[in-house]
Amino acid sequence: MMTNPGNQITQGQFSFLPPLTDVQITAQIKYALKSGWSLAVEYTDDPHPRNTYWEMFGNPMFDLKDPAGILMEINNCRKTFPNHYIRVMAFSSVRGVESPTMSYIVNRPKTEPGFRLVREEAEGRSIRYTVHSYATEKPEGERY
Amino acid sequence: MASETMKEGKERYKAGVIPYKKMGYWEPDYKVKDTDVLAMFRMTPQTGMDPEEVAAAVAGESSTATWTVVWTDRLTACEMYRAKAYRCDLVPNTGEGTKTEAQYFVYIAYELDLFEGGSIANLTASIIGNVFGMKAVKALRLEDMRIPVAYLKTFQGPATGVIVERERLDKFGRPLLGATTKPKLGLSGRNYGRVVYEALKGGLDFVKDDENINSQPFMHWRDRFLYCMEAVNKASAATGEVKGHYLNVTAGTMEEMYKRAEFAKSLGSVIIMIDLVIGYTAIQSMALWARQNDMILHLHRAGNSTYSRQKNHGMSFRVICKWMRMAGVDHIHAGTVVGKLEGDPLMIRGYYDTLLDTHTPMNLEKGLFFEQDWASLNKCLPVASGGIHAGQMHQLLTYLGDDVVLQFGGGTIGHPQGIQAGAVANRVALEAMVLARNEGRDIWNEGPQILQDAAKWCGPLKAGLDTWKDVSFNYESTDTPDFVPSATSSV
């Protein structure tokens, strides 16, 4: 079990808040759409802090401007991968940004075992650190 | 008001002294070129001096002039090399009938070829090299500069930039959270790392060395680096987030700074830190190193207030922001508005815009006297640090926006329930406020209620709000903009 405050992975914008309701998620979708951003849904069963590329639940929804439609995609992903981490991301294509502008978790596995810190003693008192995800001891798709 | 420049020729170069105005340094009809470097000074001339003559003297002494005529000018394209003072306006609310003696806003244009590419040291040696000590001025302040695109393109700019920093850290859509380890002096490496671990595990993104933490008898630098990286990695594993600690590599020599930076890199740190006092060239060198070593470069503005705070003499902090973005740092302390350090809200917004915009329009209210095209130089992340706490979250988010590091040092470490609880309080306050703002709520007015609502389910936030509820720093700013919104009235 994770021992940090909240006992869960705290990536994303809203991991310190109670789980977002569909109404709250819709409000965030509207904010992104109003800002001119495109939304995307991504999922993974390897939440390593440096696992940049979560699987895409389809391409970013560049042409979908209906918050209800986007929420439907999020819920489809939740139905398909109920025990995975799922995040909603927003992308801006404006010059000077051209990068993600939002990222928040909307689904988690029932239990979050977290990570082990592996220390490899190196020269002098230096230590090489590796963050190891307990879940990845099992093969992909069988982790939670 | 026509130029009074003497015609080039024998008379102009007769040995002796002639007014700067006549030597070609005052050209009210000058047409500014896109490639000119522009500077705007706030000038207080000696009593009785003609302000235009003093303006010409500032232009002259910051470019080609000396106190007397020299015939060797005639060996050069001297008209081109001369800086031209082209505008001299009385500052609103100064001079006759006011409490302040007359000050003038003086605009000067410099030919691009006066400067070496890619060198802040060379640029500053001209612009602020000699003129601030001239007897003809009682006081002089560099208020703003316009750097032409052609010159900007000779600079690397921020080693990482805001966009790539966010991608590397995997943190989007909210301000980053930090804290400075306290007490800043006296902790052993082991004790120091404890603060870092608790704050990061609790929910902060960064912890930071203070500006004067280098390698002192109570904690040598290698010890600090080793313990801090243990704390960073342990907290990263505990939370599943990328975490960092700004390891201050400031030292007495470049050789020593490179050595410390290399060690930080070998330990896997994502960020290092330097102080403004190491000097412009050293900062540029560290920025090159940071770009080549995938390192975020944090700059603490140690020392700046000695010359940036007083309104009549020195230089505005917005100019330092411009130079530091060119020099290539990724973070710079740029004010909090609501905290313990100096800052008028609009002036601070001007600094933030200078660091973050791809194009800054002229905006006199914000103290931005020139339009500035940033020529795709990376963005530099402002850092708000000093006397801020979770209870001000709605004000901080309104004033400063998302692209900022909010540093709650005392506001984390001084929390009554401990450092982790302090970090939780700050992170919950931040996330609740970002969520509410995105939902379209009026956080400026509803902010205190939003925090109280979150405090109902978050004990650490409640304790934090109760502890610091009455703390604010309401002093009048010494550095405020002076501008004339229309031709007739002044502020």
Distance, in angstroms, between B237 CA and closest chain A CA?
5
Give me the active site residues of B, please.
182, 300
- B39 in Cβ contact with B110 (< 8 Å): yes
Mean predicted lDDT score pLDDT of chain B? 93
Q: Which residues of B touch A (CB under 8 A)?
A: 163, 166-167, 170, 172-174, 201-203, 222, 226, 229-230, 233-234, 236-242, 266-268, 358, 376, 379, 420, 423-424, 427-428, 431-432, 434-435, 438-440, 454, 457, 460
Which residues of chain A are within 8 Å of residue B224 when distances are taken between CB atoms?
none
Q: What is the mean pLDDT of residues A70-82?
A: 98
Chain A interface mutation, best of B239, B262, B358, highest count of A Cβ atoms under 10 Å: B239
**What is the predicted pLDDT for the residue at B471?**
73
Q: Looking at beta carbons, which residues of chain A come within 8 Å of B423?
A: 5
Q: Which residues of B206-225 are buried (b: 16+ CB within 10 A; e: fewer)?
A: bbbbbbebbbeeebebbbbb
- B135 CB-near residues (< 8 Å, 6+ apart): B46
DSSP state of B216: B
Tokens 């994303």 appear where? A12
Tell the burial category of B323 from Cβ atoms under 10 Å away from its Cβ (0-12, 13-18, 19+).
Answer: buried
Interchain proximity A126–B266, CB inside 8 Å: yes
Answer yes or no: is pLDDT of B227 > 60: yes
Q: State how far residue A80 is from chain B, nearest Cα, in angstroms.
A: 24
Query: How sure is the predictor about B384, in pLDDT bands with cuts at 50, 70 and 90?
Result: very high
Which residues in B lie closer than 8 A to residue A103 (C-beta atoms)? 170, 172-173
**Nearest chain B residue (CA) to A46:** B240
The torsion region of residue B343 among left (phi > 0), alpha (psi -120 to 50) and beta comes to left
User: What's residue B203's pLDDT?
Assistant: 98
Cα nearest neighbour of A96 on chain B: B358
Residues in A closer than 8 angstroms to B460, CB to CB, are 5
- Residue A58 to chain B, least CA–CA distance (Å): 21
Task: Compute the nearest-CA separation of B127 from chain A (Å).
Answer: 30
pLDDT at B66: 83
pLDDT at residue B368, as a whole number = 96
pLDDT digits (tens, 9 = 90+) for B325-371: 999 999 999 988 887 666 788 999 999 999 999 999 999 999 999 99
- The pLDDT of B90-114, averaged and rounded, is 95
A100/B420 CB distance under 8 A: no
- Three-state SS string over B221-274 comes to HHHHHHHHHHHHHHHHHHHCCCCEEEEECCCCCHHHHHHHHHHHHHCCCCEEEE
Say which DSSP state B338 is in. S
To test the contact with chain B by mutation, choose from A1, A10, A38 the residue with the greatest count of B C-beta atoms within 10 A, namely A10
pLDDT at B320 over 50: yes
Could you tell me which chain A residue has the CA closest to the CA of B197?
A: A4
Contact (CB<8Å) A100/B172? yes
Peptide bond into B460 cis (omega under 30): no
Tens of pLDDT, residue by residue over B72-96, are 999 999 999 999 999 999 999 999 9
Percent of chain B past pLDDT 70, that is, above it, reads 95
Question: CA distances (Å), B29 to each of B3, B32, B148, in order?
Answer: 7, 9, 20
Range list of β-strands (E), chain A: 38-44, 55-56, 85-92, 99-107, 115-121, 127-133
Q: Which of A16, A30, A99 sits opposite B163 (nearest CB)?
A: A99
Q: Do B239 and A4 touch (CB under 8 A)?
A: yes
At B120, list the tokens: 């802040």
- Asked if residue B389 lies in contact with residue B411, where contact means CB atoms within 8 angstroms, the answer is yes
Angle at B62 between CA B61 and CA B67, to 5 degrees: 10
Confidence at B469, pLDDT banded by 50, 70, 90: confident
More confident residue, B4 or B185: B185
In whole angstroms, how far apart are CA A57 and each of A24, A60, A87? 21, 8, 10
- Mark yes or no for CB contact A131/B431 under 8 Å: no
Asked whether the beta carbons of residue B234 and residue A117 sit closer than 8 angstroms, the reply is: yes
Tokens of A87: 């995040």
Question: What is the distance in angstroms between the Cα of A5 and the nearest Cα belonging to chain B?
Answer: 6
Contact B240 A47 (CB under 8 A): yes
Q: Chain A residue closest to B420 (CA)?
A: A5
Reported as a pLDDT band with limits 50, 70 and 90, residue A35 is very high
Query: Residues with Cβ < 8 Å from B217, sequence gap 6 or more?
Result: none
Chain A to chain B, count of Cβ pairs less than 8 Å apart? 126
pLDDT tens-digit series, residues B232-252: 999 999 999 999 999 999 999
What pLDDT does B219 receive? 97
How far is residue B195 from each of residues B17, B208, B232, B235, measured CA to CA in Å?
64, 10, 11, 11
Our CA dihedral for B257, B260, B261, B265, rounded to 10 degrees, sits at: 170
Closest-CA residue of chain B to A47: B240
Distance between CA atoms of residues B385 and B270, nearest Å = 20
Q: From residue A82, how far is each of A7, A110, A144 by CA, in Å?
A: 19, 9, 10
The secondary structure of residue A21, as a DSSP letter, is P
**Per-residue model confidence (pLDDT) at position B338:** 84
Fill in the amino acid letter for B298: H
Contact in structure between B152 and B375 (CB atoms under 8 Å): yes
Chain B residues in contact with A10 (beta carbon < 8 A): 203, 239-241, 427
**A2 vs B173: CB contact, 8 Å cut-off?**
no
Q: CA nearest A104: which of A7, A1, A31, A4?
A: A31
- Which residue in chain B is spatially nearest to A132 when comparing CA positions? B237
In this predicted structure, the answer to whether residue B486 has a pLDDT above a threshold of 50 is no
Please give the pLDDT value at position B67: 82
Q: Say what the pLDDT of residue B487 is.
A: 39
pLDDT value for B2: 57
| CB burial string B376-401: b at 16+ within 10 A, e below | ebbbbbbbbbbbbbbbbbbbbbbbbe
Q: Find where tokens 């420049």 sit.
A: B5
